[in-house]
């Protein structure tokens, strides 16, 4: 091609003179190669920035979703633990044994048991007094027996023996002292 046949045009963006065949048409404008590259670089940078921003928003959205799910799991675990604790408390409370009602022993109601307590008191007296026995049963009150035993002591015959032992038995109850029949043990053949 001849230099006279070459046609030059101006870049419509930067104003530089370029050959008509080297001019690139972009959006209806004739541009030089440098302006096209710069325009393309700006578009790529803008697209990359938009893409980065979109990825960041998506990442933040995913993190929020993960935190929300973790929060829900934590609340669920807390509720399950609380329900388990309440269940354990209820089971503990409902399975608690009933308190045992203590009964006061009345010496006049069961003379056999009273006699057993007298034997224990005599044994303790003997240990505390160098193997000596009391002269009378009322010497056992109040240190070895409570005052509740004093009215019942006359119903027992007590005799210390010279050999160091003693004889203790239930005496016959006078008819005027009997308010209620007192049964030591049921007779054989009777229903219990």
Q: Which tens digits make up the pLDDT trace of 17-67? A: 888 888 888 878 888 888 888 888 999 999 999 999 999 999 999 999 999
The CB density around residue 118, as the number of other CB atoms within 10 Å, is 22
Mean pLDDT of 71-91: 95
Mean pLDDT of the chain: 80
What percent of the chain lies above the pLDDT cut of 70?
86
Q: Are strands 17-19 and 24-26 parallel, antiparallel or unpaired?
A: unpaired
Has residue 185 got a pLDDT over 60?
Answer: no
CB contact at 8 A, 17 and 8: yes
Q: DSSP strand E in 1-155: where?
A: 8-10, 17-19, 24-26, 29-31
Q: pTM of the prediction?
A: 0.38
Cα dihedral 99, 104, 105, 106 sign: negative
State the pLDDT confidence band at 172, using cuts at 50, 70 and 90. low
């Amino acid at each position: 091609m001849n230099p006279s046949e070459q046609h030059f045009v101006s870049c419509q963006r930067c104003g530089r003179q370029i050959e008509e065949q080297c001019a690139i048409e972009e959006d209806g404008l004739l541009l030089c190669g440098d302006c096209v590259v710069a325009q393309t670089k700006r578009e790529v940078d803008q697209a990359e920035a938009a893409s980065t921003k979109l990825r960041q928003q998506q990442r933040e959205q995913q993190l929020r979703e993960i935190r929300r799910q973790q929060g829900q799991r934590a609340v669920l675990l807390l509720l399950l633990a609380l329900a388990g604790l309440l269940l354990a408390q209820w089971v503990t409370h409902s399975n608690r044994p009933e308190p045992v009602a203590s009964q006061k022993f009345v010496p006049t109601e069961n003379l056999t048991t009273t006699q057993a307590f007298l034997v224990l008191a005599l044994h303790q007296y003997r240990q505390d007094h160098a193997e000596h026995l009391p002269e009378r049963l009322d010497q056992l009150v109040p240190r070895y027996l409570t005052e509740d035993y004093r009215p019942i002591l006359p119903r027992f015959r007590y005799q210390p023996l010279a050999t160091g032992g003693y004889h203790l038995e239930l005496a016959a109850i006078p008819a005027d002292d009997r308010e209620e029949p007192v049964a030591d043990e049921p007779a054989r053949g009777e229903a219990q």
